[in-house]
Structure 1
Amino acid sequence: MATSLQPANDQLADDLDAQSGQLRRAEKWFFAGVIITGSVLVGPLGLPVLIYGIYQLRKISKLGRHAVRPWHVSVIGAFAIIDAAANFVGWSFCTFAARTGVGWSFLRDGYGFGFDGFYHVDYGSTFMINGVAGPGEQAFIFMAMFVLWPMRLCAAWAFLKMKRWGFRWMITTTWMLVLFWVGWTTNGLMYFDERFGAIGDPAFGYLGWWLFNSVYILGPVVMVPYLYTVNKELWSEE
């Protein structure tokens, strides 16, 4: 009897090994895409990698095979990491690379010229804290860079690992982001002429500023209904 069952057991073991290998490869593609896309400077190069990784995870799930997480969790978690990483890296340049060619070109002649005239005419004018001289501007950036984005990155990573505390902190940091973006946007628009009027005069104007920032601003708002309707029992690991 043991001899007759041996081929079937070997075949099952081979199938499980193959599925495990497929899952590991899909996870590698997925996380590589998340990291590359979140790096900002080479972000667009990471999008095909990320999409391919999500596609592979989705395909594994549709075939009824065991996956690390539901595909929608992968999408939400990936967006959260990319969003937090992109803002963290971008505002780190704003703060620590203001006197360098990279910071000057990326923020003043790129973002400033195209979307936010305040950065084009005033970037790097402040002492030590860099950025632009609008009251409260760098306070919001420091708040996010040293507190909010690190919290969000940790929460999103644990969220993808299906940790219960990661799910809880995704809810917490999502509401923190809603609060942050309301404050940051209101504070920034107080200097309308410097950003969009005759003083700043960005190439894409007021509408361009909203289009550029809408992904970051509206992303957390979209996540709120998801986090309150998804089955929280999926995150069972402490």
Structure 2
Amino acid sequence: MKIIDAHMHYYNVDGFVQVAANAGYENTAACWQKICEENNIVFSVAMGNTNYTSSKYGGVTPRMIDLVAPFDEAHYNQPQNMGYCMGVNSESITEANAEKTAQEFERFIKDPHCLGIKLYPGYNAVYVNDKRHWPLFELARAYNVPVAIHTGDTAWPSGLLKYSHPLTVDEAAVAFPDVTFVIAHCGCPWFADAAEVACKNANVCIDLSGLVEGNPKPLMLLERQRG
């Protein structure tokens, strides 16, 4: 069976180095290619990260996040079997610069490797349906690309869960019925809420990324997550 990894991070930071090590891997481009070959992963989608600012194109603002993470000086030449979603730093967007932000994103959305837009509520203290996102949603509609949304628990305790609850996606889905929204991580631990938002709205999908960290044995995982 050929596999597409629809949600991964191609980024060289200490936190991801540790996550990779916990699973018995290395956080390197070479290791990722080996994993793809061994598991018949024919394509992957990297989520743009919100804490690295590109200067490749004349110093774009912090609202335009790095497209594929900086493993080396030539990191813009990402592997041919990898696409990306542009990451959004929502806290750097205002209603005044929201249209300009969408224009910056539009330059890249024409790239065949650009497959969508990624929001990080919870890490950013901004709700999904905040008006500052609307020009980006309109851009997604114009180019028929999805908007992936971090939902559920955050990787560090400073995140604010009220922004990342999967129910917050419902309002955006209703306001933009012709835009596809992806609830990332199935809203963990609010699985039922995420499922209801997707069941109610035909334009909402769910991904199951990030539900398991490390390389646990199935029965151990079942016992630990029994609740």
The answer, yes or no, to whether TM exceeds 0.5 is no
TM-score (norm: length of structure 1): 0.26
Q: Which has the higher strand share?
A: 2
Which structure has the greater CA radius of gyration? Answer: 1
Q: Could you state the TM-score of these two structures normalised by the residue count of structure 2? A: 0.27
Higher normalized helix content (fraction of residues): 1
